[in-house]
Structure 1
Amino acid sequence: MKSWLFISLLMCSMANMALPDVVTNGNAAAQNTNLVANAGFETDGSWSFRAPVYRLSTNAPRSGARCLQYVNTDPARYWLCSQRLDLKPGCRYEITAWVRTENIQGDDSGAALCVEWYDAANRFLGGCYPRGVKGTNRDWQLVRGLTGPVPTNAARCSVSCYVRKGMTGVAWFDDIRVTEIIPPAIEAMISDCYRDQTDGGVVHVHVVAGHPRATLELQAPGPVTATKTGFCLDTTSWKPGRYALTAIARDADGRELGRRSLTLTRVEKFPPRKAWIDRHRRLIVDGEPFFPLGTYWGGIKTNEMAIYAQSPFNCIMPYADVGRAGLDLAHAHGIRVIYSVKDLYAGHRGIKTEEEARQRIARTVNALKDHPAIIAWYINDELPLTMLDTLTAHRQWLEELDPERPTWAVLYQYNQVREYLPTFDVIGTDPYPIPNSPPSKALEWARTTVAQTFGARAVWMVPQIFDWTSYKKQGRPPTLAEMRCMAWSCIAAGANGLIFYSWFDLWRMDKTTPFEQRWKDVTALAAEIREKIPILLSVEPTPALSVEAPESVAWRVFAKDGAVYVLCVNSDDKQPARVQLGKQRVELAPLEAQMIRFEP
């Protein structure tokens, strides 16, 4: 007979304050109040735009008597139609617009809308940019996006209708909406076990309430202890089987606001797997720890593989469907492959429905899952949060089709990773700051990515090695010092692998920066990391250290063969930094990274 223990976790000292009567089963919902004034362009006010690109039109509006029309024949002209908004810091919003298009042409995604925020000094802080509509669409098309939390230092926010830069044609916009998203009673609930399987020992369950003054309870078999981010429970004595864990959020009067569950599976012994993630967030391949150190590729070419195989890198992530021939070539050179199925969604590669997408995925995975070169499946490349249910389904399909390998997703939405938790086994984000932002952006993104997963998921970051002039008119490649800082910052922040972007851009930049020159710097960095992999993969216990360092310094402690090492990285590109490790003082130059052997 199971004994169930209920334990409460107070989420805020203001627990005695009343909460609104909101009950949810776990899904966020948008309020009905539209924050956009004159959302259908029925009057002349509220919006700021410039003629001749924008004008109010009576040409077949979606509703009412008018809509907004965009006409542009000059790809160099990039104007927006905008409106100031009063958005709440920390809140998230759903943004929608209805769009028609006529011959919208160019390399970007077309007619769209966006929400942006700026600080008090009018510095850009970020925004939400859903994919637009291009070509000719005589029927109204919905453009929809979900923002991340509005930054706490946002002083000015706006919504804009526009056509992406460098594009031309005609577009119409109507019925613009920006509505606040009411979070579910429980926003997130995950365990720190790979695919919620444990062979015994302590399991951490991380739970986030959707309201800051809610209390949480966890229903679980056996004793439960509250932690800072949820609960922990010892599964050592549990018999093999499946166990439901249920988190319940309550208000100050004890009323239930909502609940969320996960199923934890207790196994006597983990089944044999080709590749999986252990409790230390390490990738295990063929029974051995493996630190993915690779680059993005397009296809796989014989001459390029011969060059790459002589480098310190151990894997690649090709965008192309390289098939068995490509896998054979990589395997013959000792290179592992993260195989991409990231385009096998409805609306991509000629796939019309999700059922067709499922069939395509099944054909690909079943044809290749026996190949020894594959270590993971690449499942999502920056797809929007509006596809959450679809992304979750694709992850479930991959797990069913090939339970022996993890899935990896990469996002630019680094501050929304928590909402994507059901969609991946391993996560990465891709900061590409050089030259418009400092290298410290890589540290900021890596820290946030790890924190968004509660430190409970493996993180394979995607640092920059390319020159933005591969895609834009202006840019430069990162220096070796900048690349070194960005890579080691990611590791110091908690990354368990690095897949650099990108190999094919090194070739694309050859006319301005010779490949041989760039490859020399990139492989020098890779060699530094490869040399330290035995330390990075060690799981020997580490001592508690007293570390004093500025915020610009990332540090991480390792132990190997009885020795203690502290990785310290100064992400500041202008100022040196001083780090105090117990009695040991370390001086770091700007962008400097050191693996220091700690002497107590």
Structure 2
Amino acid sequence: MKKSYFLAALLTAGQLAGAVSLVNSNFEDADRGWKFPAGYSIEPLAGRNSSRGLYVKRTSADKISGWARQYINLEPGKSYRVSCYAKAQITQKGKYKVGASFVLSFGNGKKVIGKIYNNGLIESSNGKWVRLEREFTTPPEMKTCLLEVGLYNGFLGEAWFDDINIELNDQHFVYTVTPGNRLIFADDPQVTAAAVRTGQALEPGTSAIMTVKGKDFSSSAAGKLTNGQVVLTFKNLQKGPADAHLQLLAPDGQTLLAEERFKVTIVESAKTFKGTFVDRHGNLIVDGKPFMPLGFYIGQMSKEEIDMISAANFNTLLSYGSMYLRFNYGKPGNPPALAKTLEVMDYCHQKNIKLVFSVSNVSNSGAYAIKNWYGAEGPENVMRSAIKNLGPHPALLAWYIADEPPATLREYLTRRRELINTLDPQHPTFMVSMHFNELYNFAGVSDIGGVDPYPIVNRAQDMYDVRHAAVQSQKLGKPFWGVIQCFNQAYYTKTTPENHHKYWHEVHRDPSAEEMRSMCFQLAQFGAKGFIFYYWNCIKDYENRSKDPEYFRKAFERMKSVSAAMRTLEPYIMSVHGIETLALQKVSGKVIATLHKNNDGKRCVLITAEGPGKAAAELQLPGKFKSLFNKTFFQDGKYIFKANNIASDMLLEE
């Protein structure tokens, strides 16, 4: 996905308490904050997920071209972790064993008193992004710190960089998990809280205490964390808004490790609540009933597209153009208007389609910034107006507050979440991150988290990124949804008529129905409760680009088959039962099997193969099961799974 969000917040990110003053860490805000030598530039499509990124090309070793650089503020004597993503096409190696990488130089006056670096990429990465990381401690006498990123002197070729992150080591984060929307139900006054510690496990005996204060009451609840979570039960709450203070305490019960202050809304009961929220099982509840989001990211939409999507049993759309939705987009005489947005929402509701409404571009700056909106001026007033005018609509499912943000926006986005939760406690907030190793930065940013692993790059035959994203999401313990790749990476490649076929069918490829289904299944194995495919426009527009009248039909047939599989699985995902990881025997390849139960206790087994290559496993199950995708057979009292590359199966209890 393209990263477009609150760039304005980056202007103040360096002044936030505890924040590193790293400016424009993802290169989305032109060249602000950076100084570039010749050969360096920020280019569209040069970053991860086809966003902007830093690009360098060096064809001659005659001149030293230097690095992209900026000075940053770090505290002396503190332990940090620096990371960035890089890929490279190296045509000639340099003298030293440092290639495409980063360097931090610590200064005191005119003297350099220390340097740290990662060796980086000294070989070509074959189109794959590689995460470079280094832990370090700043010298006590440090006065300045210079960050440099680029291709080391002597190396020739091309290199790309994106998503630089610098953060303190050994941080603690504490946050609420459920209910969503910062709600507390008076007849069941429980809040699940969770905590994580970067780099290592929480100490045994770590506890949390949360105090809720209203106009005429105060109530506190405390408990020790088990597996990173604790259920806090309150007494004597009164309906209405209240202030909450959540603290994480060391085993001594005194030392404060982390804290969060936020507002909550106390309502009578989940049974009578009119709206959408996440329950204690991580399930999305809409007007009292479980709802599993299954749909697409989309731009603008037509009635015909809504009809088609609805008929295929999809139920959710997330439009990047939410704030200016209208039918016949782009046609003359069709300016945006609030009434036109409501017309689209009305039609979606008629067709049983829910909208995740994107406000990710409501900000003061950026290529797609929305500063004013139908008489509302300034981002906060725009948000208030959008919530007032659109919040009551029955088609609204959730608010999309950020699309792949950097960690520097954590405090800004937390305030945005609080504004929405306070003004519209009937709908949750949702955001997506591609920073799978640092998801803890966003634990308190939204009610529902999201991850968007896109494993089908070049002609890859594995989905490691999906498992990695799912595992990291599960560690947080928060409700999360998965974003599933349905697009060909060539969509974001500049092609010509001459090389079009090469990039679309030889270098890259479309994900198959089995691969998309397997991505969904594996995310579900780790607890995902919603599945949104990226990106409708990619599969719809390619038909026009390729002049292939059959392309979209075939692509959508694949999508429909995945939808059917997910609807079969839905009762097992949206249940009150947990997930059990099953023991496997005679395993070859990377195979995961999990047991799921629906609310009637009937069982389902999901099996996924990560790839690449052949995979097999045996498992013993009491009872009789039927394979839906013919990858598993019963023999000698065991179920035997066999597959190639990215694959999956679903076994349903008969």
Equivalent in 30, 37, 43 of residue 69 of structure 1: 37
Match of 1:92 in 2: 81
Q: 1:265 to 1:432 in 2, by over 3 A?
A: same
1:449 is displaced (CA, Å) by 4.0
- Are 2:509 and 1:476 equivalent residues in the alignment? yes
C-alpha displacement at 1:183, in angstroms? Answer: 4.0
Shift of 1:559: 3.2
Q: 1:436-489 CA distances to partner (integer Å, 9 max, x unpaired)?
A: 3444235324423422422xx221111111111211143221122222211222
Q: 8 Å contact 1:148–1:416 — kept in the other structure?
A: no
One of 151, 172, 176 as aligned partner of 1:190: 176
Partner of 1:597: 652
- Give the equivalent residue in structure 1 for 2:448: 426
SS at match of 1:509: helix
- Determine which of 555, 559, 563 is the counterpart of 2:594: 555
Q: Distance in 1 between matches of 2:579 and 2:492?
A: 46
TM-score by length of 1: 0.68
Aligned length: 475
Give the secondary-structure state (helix, strand or coil) at the position aligned to 1:505.
helix
**Who is 2:206 aligned against?**
216
Find out whether 1:384 has 2:398 as its counterpart: no
Amino acid at match of 2:302: K
Q: Which residue of 2 aligns with 1:205?
A: 193
CA 27–70 in structure 1, closer or farther in 2 if over 3 Å, else same: same
CA deviation digits over 1:531-585, x for unaligned, max 9?
332332232x469675226553252422343322222222224112214244643
Please show how residues 260-409 of structure 1 align to structure 2 within 5 Å: 260-261=259-260, 269-270=269-270, 272-320=273-321, 321-322=324-325, 323-348=341-366, 349-351=368-370, 356-409=378-431
Question: Which residue is equivalent to 1:54?
Answer: none
Deviation at 1:31, TM superposition (A): 11
Structure 1, unaligned stretches of length 5 or more?
1-25, 33-61, 96-111, 129-146, 151-157, 163-177
Q: Classify 1:119/1:452 alpha carbon distance in 2 versus 1 (closer, same or farther; 3 Å).
A: farther
Using the TM superposition, give the Cα deviation of residue 419 of structure 1 relative to its aligned residue in structure 2, in angstroms. 0.8
Alignment-mate amino acid for residue 188 of structure 1:
V
Contact 1:189-1:262 within 8 A present in 2 as well: no
1:343 aligned partner, one-letter code: N
Change (3 A) 1:567 1:339: same
CA displacement 1:39-93 (0-9 Å, x = unmatched): xxxxxxxxxxxxxxxxxxxxxxx99xxx7632689999942767799xxxx9523
Query: Cα distance, 1:255 vs. partner?
Result: 8.2
Give the direction of change, closer, same or farther, for the CA distance of 1:566–1:358 in structure 2 (3 Å limit): same
Determine the C-alpha separation between the residues in 1 that align with 2:41 and 2:389.
Answer: 48
Counterpart-to-counterpart distance in 2, 1:586 and 1:559: 24
In 2 relative to 1, CA 357–556 (structure 1 residues): closer, same or farther, beyond 3 Å? farther
Q: 1:568 to 1:119 in 2, by over 3 A?
A: farther
CA distance in 1, matches of 2:249, 2:41: 56
Deviation of 1:376 (Å): 0.9
CA RMSD of the aligned region, Å? 4.2
Greater alpha carbon shift after TM alignment, 462-471 vs 589-598: 589-598
Structure 2 equivalent of residue 22 of structure 1: none
Question: Is 2:500 aligned against 1:501?
Answer: no
Alpha-carbon distance between aligned partners in 1 of 2:18 and 2:529, rounded to the nearest angstrom:
31
Distance 2:438 2:172 in 1: 16
Alpha carbons of structure 1 residues 196 and 120: separation in structure 2 relative to 1, 3 Å: farther
2:540 counterpart letter in structure 1: W
Aligned pair partner of 2:603 in 558, 564, 571: 564
Given the alignment of the two structures, is residue 126 of structure 1 paired with residue 130 of structure 2, yes or no? Answer: yes
Alignment of 1:10-21 (within 5 A): none
Structure 2 residue 563 is matched with structure 1 residue 526: yes
Question: 1:464 is matched by which residue type in structure 2?
Answer: Q
Counterpart contact for 2:407–2:442, Cα < 8 Å: yes
DSSP-derived class of the 1:246 partner: strand
Query: Alignment partner of 1:531: what SS?
Result: helix
The alpha carbon displacement at 1:291 in A equals 0.6
* 2:571–2:598 CA contact under 8 A, matched in 1: no
Q: Secondary structure at the match of 1:347?
A: coil
CA offsets per residue over residues 369-411 of structure 1, 9 Å max, x none? 1211111111111122111121111111111221101111111
Mapped partners of 1:565, 1:531: distance in 2: 10
User: Residue 141 of structure 2 corresponds to which residue in structure 1?
Assistant: none
CA gap 1:477/1:209 in 2 versus in 1, 3 angstroms: closer
Contact map agreement 1:240 1:267 (CA 8 A) in 2: no
Once the 2 structures are TM-superposed, how far is the Cα of residue 595 of structure 1 from its aligned partner? 2.1
State how far apart, in whole Å, the 2-side matches of 1:317 and 1:306 are. Answer: 16
Q: Does 1:585 align with 2:639?
A: yes
Deviation digits for residues 353-375 of structure 1 (CA, Å, limit 9, x no counterpart): 99811111222221111211111
Read off the aligned partner of 2:351 and give its amino acid letter. H
Query: In 2, Cα distance between the equivalents of 1:515 and 1:184?
Result: 49
Q: Distance in 2 between matches of 1:496 and 1:325?
A: 29
Contact 1:250–1:257 (8 Å) recurs in 2: no
Looking at structure 2, the residues matched to 358 and 281 of structure 1 have their Cα atoms a distance apart, in angstroms, of 29
> In 2, are the aligned partners of 1:442 and 1:486 still within 8 Å (CA)?
no
Report the equivalent of 1:8.
Answer: none
* Cα separation, 2, equivalents of 1:183 and 1:362: 37
Q: 1:501 to 1:208 in 2, by over 3 A?
A: closer
CA distance 1:207–1:304, shift in 2 (3 Å): closer
SS of the residue aligned with 1:527? helix
Give percent identity, aligned residues only: 23
Q: Distance in 2 between matches of 1:356 and 1:570?
A: 49
Write out aligned runs for 1:171-182 (5 A). 181-182=167-168
Unaligned stretches of 5+ in structure 2?
Answer: 1-15, 23-32, 47-54, 59-64, 70-78, 85-100, 104-116, 137-146, 152-163, 211-219, 326-340, 496-502, 623-637
* TM-score of the two chains, using structure 2 as the length reference: 0.63
Contact kept, 8 Å, 1:29 with 1:183, in 2: the verdict is no
Distance in 2 separating the partners of 1:553 and 1:499: 22
> Is residue 593–residue 605 contact of structure 2 (8 Å, CA) maintained in 1?
no
